[in-house]
Structure formats: C-alpha cells, structure tokens
Chains A and B, each alone.
Chain A
Amino acid sequence: MNEMNEFFIKTEDLYASYEEDDGKRVQVLCGISLGIKKGEYVAVLGHNGSGKSTFAKLLNMIHMPDSGKIYIDGVDITSDEMTERDIYDIRRKVGMVFQNPDNQLVATIVEEDVAFGPENLGIPSDEIRKRVDEALQIVGMTEYARHEPHRLSGGQKQRVAIAGIIAMMPDCMIFDESTAMLDPIGRREVMETIDMLRREKGITVINITHHMNEAVRADRVIVLNDGKVYMDGTPEEIFGEPYKLELAGLEVPQCTALIQELRRKGYKITGECTTPEKCAALLANFIGGGANG
C-alpha cells in the first residue's frame, strides 16, 4: 500500500495493441512497467510508432490494455469494477492536451470552452465561473475570455486547451505532442505554462514529445522503443549516451552533441550539459581554465 501511495501512476507489465484500417492488429506496447511519482515531471521520448501516444491514452482510459495493470492514485483502472462515475473521475484526475489545438476546442467562445470540462462534471454554475476565471488567469488568457477561438494564434489556442483541463482540477496532465504544430513562439508559451503549472500547482506532468530541448526541462526522461522502456533516467543520464539514443532513432540536443564532439576531438571538458545555458557555462569555464593553465 505504501508503494502505491508513493506512485501516482503505476503500470505493471502492460501490453496493448490496436487494429489498423485493414484489420491487422499491431502490437504497440510489450510489457511496460513503471511508476511515476506525484509531482514528477516526466518527458516521454520515442520515434514515430514507438507506442508513446498509445501509452498516454491508456492512462485516462481512452484505450484499454490487452493485459497488465494500471494504477492511478492507487485505483486499479483495469479492473472490471470500474463504474462510469469512476471513469469520469480518472479522466478528471488525468487531463490530456493533444497535438492539434483546433481539434480540441469545442465552444465558440474561449471562456465557454474552458467551462466545458467542469460543466460535464456537473459542477454548480458559480463554482464553474470561479474555476474558469482562475484557469484563464493561470495560462494568461484572461483578456481573451470573450474571444472566438479561431481568431487566436496556435500557442494561444493551446493555452486555452490547457486552461480547459486546469478548470477540471487535475492531479496530472499529459501533453501528447502538444507543441508539435506550433511555431517557436507558441512552443515557448506552452512550455513556460507547463513549467509554471508544475511549480505552482504541483501537477504531475507527462510530456510526450519529439523535441529534445523540451525533454531536458523534465526531471526524468523515459525513452520508449519497440513498445518497451528502452531508457529511463535523468536528462543528463539519457543524453550522456548518444549512441544508445541513436539506436532508438533519436538524437541528443545540439548543445550536448557539441560538448561530446569536442571531447572526442580531445578537449578535456568536464561536466554534463543539456541546455544551451549550461553548455555556454561549461565552455566559458573550459576556455577560462585553459587560459589560466
């Protein structure tokens, strides 16, 4: 029981498959066992078809696994005793933001869209009002409350989508390639919102992404390959093994690659780096040190 409380999400030997249009079954997950702690910030990496999206959809009961167990907040969601109410409760706890911002906004006005989730949960009107105002304020979209979604930029739409989840008061948020369709400005807006949610609301964050620069912001990186957990560790540990990553069809962040390349050329730079800032500091330190010596 103790262990269950420690992990907000826990999966045991998870197998999942889906049926393609031509009726062929594709095995996407082959025995995933992992635990994610409350308040943890996890990035999930993997090339296309590595099963990362399917994994996310298992966590809020959009898909069901073929076998294996999933515990969310200590509740076994694969059990047959889950009632409809329980399912809504899981979906409330584990919110999900998708890739295309256009295809997840339902209402014709921003604040009505944010209210959509709480309305479905049957929350009283004045309470919804309060939550919507708060959620819009958190993502910094208060001034757009009465706007029509189609007039917003991609990043703003995605922030509205995030507000729509926040208004349901989730414990965990999954971002399923939520920045993939955004321009660099939109991407930064969304990443900053995620960091802030994590910091101020203590929400468990799972960010499924292609971008290594996003993955380095997390506490922990999980690399999926061929339906299995291929690597699992801190960003420094993961990006410290570029060859192993390459085998999974992934690259290390450019700054990490730079330091590794320099090291191979014989420069004795010590320390690990995953962000441009850290990289600059390492190099400055090395050059400074070199000059002194």
Chain B
Amino acid sequence: MKNISLGQYYPGNSAVHRADPRMKLIFSFLYIICSFLCSNILSFVLLLFSAVLLIFVSRIPMGLIMRSIKPILFILAFTVVINIFWTSGETVLFEWRFIHIYLEGVMNAIFIVLRIFVLIVGASLFLTYTTTPIALTDAIEQLFAPLKKIKIPVHEFAMMMTIALRFIPTLIDETDKIMSAQKARGADFTSGSLIKRAKALIPILIPLFVSSFRRADELATAMECRCYHGGEGRTRMSILHYRASDFVWLFIMIAFGASIIALNILSIGYSM
C-alpha cells in the first residue's frame, strides 16, 4: 500500500513533461476545441497526425494510451452503431429490409470515433500522463488567480485538492486496516449476493467516516497553529515561471488551430 501512486502520471523528461503546467492546461483546452472544429477529411488527417506526433514527442508507451481508451470503448461502440444505423443521407451503401446504411452515417461514425480518440489522447498526454497532480493543482491556482477579484475562492479550491491528494493514500491505508480488523472479527466481504456484499461494506465505511472527521478536526487545528488563514496575504515558495520553450509550444498550438480552420474552409473532399 505504501507504493500507491496518485493519478496516472508517467514519469519522464520529454518536452511535454517539461512544459509549464499552466500552458498544458490551456493546451488541452485548445486541443479539445480544435478537435471539435474539424469538419472535413483534410483537417481530420491533420488532427490525427498531431495526435500521433504528440504521442511520439511525449514518449508515453502506446499501451498506456490504449488503457485510457478502454473504459470508453463501450460508449464508442454505442455511438458507432447509432450513427451508422440512424443517420440518413443520399448515398446508400447497404440495404436489407428495414436496415439502410448510408455513406454519411459511416463517415459520421468514423469522425466521431476519431474525435473522441484524439480528445482523450490530447487531454491525457497534456495533463494526466505528463503532469503530476501537484503541478496541476499549482497550475489551477496560479492560472485562475485573477478570478479572486470576482470573489471566487481559487486558493481554497486548490487547497482542498491538495489536502484530498495528500490524504488519499492515508485513507486507503486506513481502509485496509479497518478491513483487516473486521475480517479478524469474522466479516466476509467476498461472498454472497451483490446486496449482501454492499451491506458488508457498512462496517468499513462508518469507522472510516468517523476517523476522517477526527482527522479533519486535527488537521484544521494543526493548520491554524501554522497561521493558516486562507489565501489572503499568502505567498508561495515555488512560483511557476514561463520559459521560452513554453512560448514555442503556444506558437505551435496557435499555428495548429489556424491550419485546422484553414483546412475546414478549403473543404476538399467529404465534409460534415
């Protein structure tokens, strides 16, 4: 249990890993927008090419990326089926009784699958795989700092995230201990119907809740003792600084977005 790692961070030292977490946050947002802007084959080819390039640059193993796709395979399959069978168009590809499959439907399905694929690859490469949760929290706090002016408690949100991240391993450890203690008293978590097993979890959850509240209380006192009083007047030890390479990234990203839009306007070949 000591070796639990948070999030899906894949340690490395690629250009993507080194980029400023705030930039990466912006990039993943821009990338998602770009993938939605694509509306013809050419721009899709560019989008796909960029995703492959990104995988290559970040040096994240392909298996890991496939693993992040896995949970949504069902949704992907579902959208493919819906699109193929329920989109009507002009060019009929296949007809049998009540089933009509049109070229438009097939193309739509392909586009949507590609779009979701690129979306996930982009977000996971820019954020989850190459950025530690801590860096991400810092990025959120510093990127959204201007929102403090309109009374959005940015620092407090970031603090909550940090504490949550800090206590996940502690609480997992604790759950483990409680489970062992309950097992020693004869509790059975592995057999019986689903409802029975869910009921068996109650004796774990209640002690876990009680101890979490106690922890929260102690932590609050400890934080007060260390002069914590919210984000006001607080400084930080490590402040993020943009570097030249971050602006190169930004330039590439803007160029990428512009070419997608340009290719859309050209509208060569099939378009949605």
Contacts from A to B (Cβ < 8 Å): 57, 60, 62, 84, 88, 91-92, 95-96, 98, 100, 102-109, 111-112, 115-125, 128-129, 132, 148-151, 164-165, 168
Contacts and interface: CB of A to CB of B under 8 A. Distances in A.
B235 interface: yes
Contacts of B218: 98, 100, 103-104
B243 interface: no
Given A102-B215, A118-B237, A84 B2 contact: no
Residue from B163, B225, B228, B236 whose CB has the most chain A CB atoms within 10 Å: B225
A19 B6 CA distance: 39
A110 B234 CA distance: 19
Contact of B225 (A95, A122, A124, A151): A95
Interface stretch (B91-99, B146-154, B165-173, B250-258): B165-173
A244 B238 CA distance: 54
Nearest to B159: A106
B134 interface: yes
Contacts of B234: 119-120, 122
Contacts, number: 100
A104 B237 contact: no
Interface of B: 2-3, 6, 133-134, 162-163, 165-166, 169-170, 173, 215, 218-219, 221-229, 233-239
Given A102-B215, A149-B166, A125 B239 contact: yes
A120 B6 CA distance: 26
Contacts of A122: 233-235
Contacts of B173: 150
A125 B235 contact: yes
Given A62-B224, A106-B162, 9 more contacts: A95-B226, A96-B225, A108-B134, A108-B166, A115-B237, A121-B227, A123-B235, A124-B235, A125-B238
A125 B238 CA distance: 7
Contacts of A115: 236-238
Contacts of A100: 215, 218
B226 A91 contact: yes
A103 B166 contact: no
A120 B226 contact: yes
13 contacts: A91-B224, A98-B222, A106-B163, A106-B219, A116-B226, A119-B235, A120-B228, A122-B234, A125-B235, A128-B235, A150-B166, A151-B2, A165-B226
Nearest to B165: A108
Given A102-B170, A103-B218, A168 B227 contact: yes
B142 to A, nearest CB: 13
Most buried by A among B2, B133, B222, B237: B237
A268 B133 CA distance: 67
A206 B249 CA distance: 54
Contacts of A88: 227, 229
Contact of B222 (A84, A103, A124, A128): A103
